A and B are shown apart, each in its own frame.
Chain A
Amino acid sequence: MRLLVVEDEPDLLSVLVRAARKEGYAVDSAADGEEALYKAESTDYDAIVLDIMLPRLDGWEVLSRLRKTKATPVLILTARDRSTDRVRGLDIGADDYLVKPFDIPELFARLRAIIRRGANQSRAILELGEVRIDTAARTVTRNGKPVTLTAREYVVLEYLALHRGEVSSRTTLYEHLFDEDEATLSNILDVHIYNLRKKLGQDFIVTRRGHGYCIE
């Protein structure tokens, strides 16, 4: 899952990025509205955390321009707590609205929820045959027995599971799993897929030659 965090307060931005990475997200950051809009338009993020009071272009403007081309889930994170602001934000096209100061666990719970809804899933638990993924606890069981996955393996699995039935190309997977700061090896994805198949069954993830991977 790849996030864009837009926040002009450097200390808050850095802790959000660190906390999100720790949650297993690939995280890009932007400190002003123009940068945010550029990144949001050029990359398919799974969700965007957007501040409103931003230099250059404010959050309202970023959101309304972004909505002309993309439906990326957006969570507004702002100090503006008035109900008129919330209404405005949600009406422009935000998927959720959280007022500062906030609790980090709540922020991530809300992010998981809008990412799920963006993938047309309403429950936090994904059941795929004998495999059961709890996206809130980030745990996976197979036939009721827990399966231990590395953080990266879990993220690959969660992405494919949320988009089950769709073929995800290697480019798409790379884009969603690694952020702009990570220098990735070209075959690292193959390694993760190999390990997932070993743990969850050879047929669990299907390879479509020339297209990508898919959970059916």
Chain B
Amino acid sequence: MRSFQSIRWRLQIWYGLLLIAALAGFGAAIFRVESARQFRQLDEELQRRVQVLAKSRHPVPNARPPRQQFVLLPENSALFDQGGAAEFYYVVWLHGGDAPIRSSTAPVDIPMPQNNTAASVRARGTLREAFLLPAPGDCLLVGHRTERDIAESHHLAWWLLIAGGGVVLLGLTVGSYLVHRALKPVRDISFAAQKVATGDLTQRIASSTSGSELGQLVNVLNSTFARLDAAFTQQAHFTADAAHELRTPVSVILAQAQYGLSNACENDEHREVFEASQRAANRMRHLIDSLLDLARLDAGQESPDRKPCDLATIAADCLELIRPMATARSIQIHADLRSAICTGDADRLAQVITNLLTNAVHYNYDGGEVQVSTRHDSGIATLVVRNTGPGITAEDLPRIFERFYRADKARTGSAGRTGLGLAIAKAIVQSHGGSITVTSELEKGATFTVSLPN
């Protein structure tokens, strides 16, 4: 249910609730006003008819004691029981009479309003009645059946409900579209930021609304990305230039040393000097090559020569290179190479595997063991290199992939060791979208695991 926590859904829900509340309030007001208007109109009609009834009540001439009689003129009787006035009825009580005069459609069981009734309009069930008490015991009452009015107001209520529902639906749809549009820059930003986070520093956020608040954020982020990109490029260029500038002086030393050696000097001391220079120059040469490798991997300049290749065959080739070195120190190599297809640059992967194998032999006891295995499961090709060396201390373990970090501080390695091998291996594996990890226990050896996606 993570999606319901998104800004988009919360905005939608709040907006929808607000819209429904507003429409409900509005509808209720319309309904009330309309009903009130309808009843007020009805009451006026009722009062008018009561007045007509009042005029139809006359004293009986010469009657003793004086009596009242009720005579409805024919033109007035059209106000009741017929045609457009079919729902109006009247009941007239004279002298508290038990037998009221009533129109033909009047209900039979109408109680006579009591004198003390203050209101001149009353509602009984679906009936609405207005009355006048002209004299004690006399009562003129006009009633109206309100079923049709009630039905009408129900009708109105239904229409209001349907219209309201329609407006809510329309509102939600348009709102959803607007929210979608309003949040598009946010999605663009997070998409670009994600790409930048995974290493594509050339990514920029496309923004069409540079004036808006998000537009300003986009500009800030873009300039940050640009500076980040520039810093990385600059660093990569610097490393590349530095390595490049070192090539010429190193070649002078190397050439001079080799020329000196070729002059077959019998003098052992001279020979040693030249040999030492040659070794140092060769070491610098490896260092330069490694630094350039790293600079290019950092800058993402590696030409993508990615093809499906089998870690097992690459590892088998690398093993053949390493075997003489292992044999010289009586180290046994156990290989369990099962097909492990991955997509990558075979030369680069060979560089990684050779590095791991060289380390496994180099940092091992004479007569130790090196185990190499490759396997493939659920889309991941895995290579494991394990040795029986002295292992890596817990303090060194997290820093082992850092540049120039060496577990053996004494720097007693052979000329080829630059302290960059594992850093390069890691950079290569990462440029393939894979991962490299190490575990180790002191005196029990170390295990390096490379995982590469299919």
Binding site for B on A (CB under 8 A): 9, 11-12, 15-16, 18-19, 22, 79-81, 83, 99-105
Name the B residues within 8 Å of A16 (CB-CB).
255
Tell which of A15, A81, A99 touches B255, judged by Cβ atoms closer than 8 Å. Answer: A15
Stretch in B242-250, B337-345, B418-426 with 4+ CB within 8 Å of A: B242-250
Known contacts A12-B251, A15-B252; is A105 also within 8 Å of B244 by CB?
A: no
Quick one: which of B241-289 are within 8 Å of A by CB? 244-245, 247-256, 258-259, 262-263, 281, 284-285, 288-289
From B248, B256, B292, give the contact of A100 (CB < 8 A). Answer: B248
A151 to chain B, nearest CB (A): 14
CA distance A163 to B289 in the complex (A): 40
A19 CB contact (under 8 Å) in B249, B255, B288, B289? B255
Complex: how many Å from CA A15 to CA B274? 14
Interface centre among A11, A16, A105 (most CB of B within 10 A): A11
Q: How far is the CA of A155 from the CA of B441 in the complex (A)?
A: 64
Residues of B close to A79: CB separation below 8 A: 244-245, 247-248, 251
Chain A residue nearest to B260 (CB atoms) is A15
B114 within 8 A of A: no
- In addition to A101-B281, A104-B259, 12 A-B residue pairs with Cβ atoms within 8 Å of each other are A15-B256, A18-B259, A19-B255, A22-B262, A79-B247, A79-B248, A81-B292, A100-B248, A101-B253, A102-B254, A103-B258, A105-B258
A100 & B250 in contact (Cβ 8 Å cutoff): yes
How far does the alpha carbon of A9 sit from the alpha carbon of B247 in the complex, in Å? 12
User: Complex: how many Å from CA A80 to CA B251?
Assistant: 13
A121–B288 alpha-carbon span in the complex (Å): 36
Task: Tell me the complex Cα distance, A12–B285, Å.
Answer: 16
With A12-B248, A22-B262 in contact, is A83–B303 under 8 Å at CB? yes
Cβ–Cβ < 8 Å partners of B256 in chain A: 11, 15
**Bound-state Cα–Cα, A179 to B288, Å:** 35
Q: Is A11 in contact with B244, judged by CB distance below 8 angstroms?
A: no
Residues on the B chain within 8 Å of A11, using CB: 252, 256
Can you spell out 28 A-B residue pairs with CB atoms less than 8 angstroms apart?
Answer: A9-B249, A12-B248, A12-B252, A12-B255, A15-B252, A15-B255, A18-B259, A22-B262, A22-B263, A79-B245, A79-B247, A79-B251, A80-B244, A81-B292, A83-B303, A99-B247, A100-B247, A100-B248, A101-B251, A101-B253, A101-B255, A101-B281, A101-B284, A101-B288, A102-B251, A104-B254, A104-B255, A105-B258
Inter-chain CA distance A12–B251, complex, in Å, is: 7
User: Closest chain A residue to B259 by CB distance?
Assistant: A19
Q: How far, in whole Å, are A81 and B243 apart by their CA atoms in the complex?
A: 11
Query: Looking across the interface, which residue of chain B has its beta carbon closest to that of A51?
Result: B248
> Which single residue of chain B is at the shortest CB-CB distance from A104?
B258
With the chains together, A104 CA to B249 CA distance in Å?
15
Complex Cα spacing A83 to B345, Å: 15
| Interface size grouping (class) on chain B | 20 to 34
Which one of A9, A18, A101 contacts B254 once the chains associate, using CB atoms below 8 Å?
A: A101
A100 adjacent to B259 (CB under 8 Å):
no
Question: How distant is B207 from chain A, measured CB to nearest CB, in Å?
Answer: 34
- Give bound CA distance, A103 to B262, whole Å: 12
Q: Chain B residues with Cβ under 8 A from A101's Cβ?
A: 247, 250-251, 253-255, 281, 284-285, 288
A35 smallest CB distance to B (angstroms):
19
Interface centre among A16, A83, A99, A100 (most CB of B within 10 A): A100
With A79-B244, A80-B244, A81-B292: A100-B258 Cβ-Cβ less than 8 Å: no
Residue of A nearest to B254 (CB): A101
Output the least CB separation between B120 and chain A (Å): 105
A195 to chain B, nearest CB (A): 25
Instruction: Return chain A residues, CB-CB under 8 Å to B303.
Output: 83
- Interchain CA distance A101-B251 in the complex, whole Å: 4
Residues of A within 8 A of B252 (CB): 9, 11-12, 15
Q: Chain A residues near B251: list those with CB within 8 A.
A: 12, 79, 100-102
Residues from 300 to 343 in B contacting A, C-beta threshold 8 Å: 303
Closest B residue to A18 by beta carbon equals B259
Which residues of A are found within 8 Å of B285, using beta-carbon distances?
101
Distance in angstroms from A12 CB to nearest chain B CB is 5
Name the distance in Å between B322's Cβ and chain A's nearest Cβ: 23
The residue in chain A whose Cβ has the minimal distance to the Cβ of B253 is A101
Smallest CB separation, A62 vs chain B (Å): 18
Give the shortest distance, in Å, between B235 (CB) and chain A (any CB). Answer: 18
Most buried by A among B244, B281, B284: B244
With both beta carbons as reference points, the residue of chain B lying nearest to A11 in the complex is identified as B252
CB within 8 Å for A9 and B248 given contacts A101-B281, A102-B254, A104-B255: yes
Most chain-A CB neighbours within 10 Å: which of B245, B254, B292, B303? B254
Neighbouring B residues of A100 by C-beta, 8 Å:
247-248, 250-251
Complex Cα distance, B263 from A22, in Å, reads 9
**Binary CB contact string for chain B from 436 to 451 against chain A (1 if under 8 A, 0 otherwise):** 0000000000000000
**Which chain A residues border B284 with CB–CB below 8 Å?**
101
Query: Closest A-chain residue to B247, C-beta based?
Result: A79
Question: In residues 373-390 of chain B, which contact A (Cβ within 8 Å)?
Answer: none
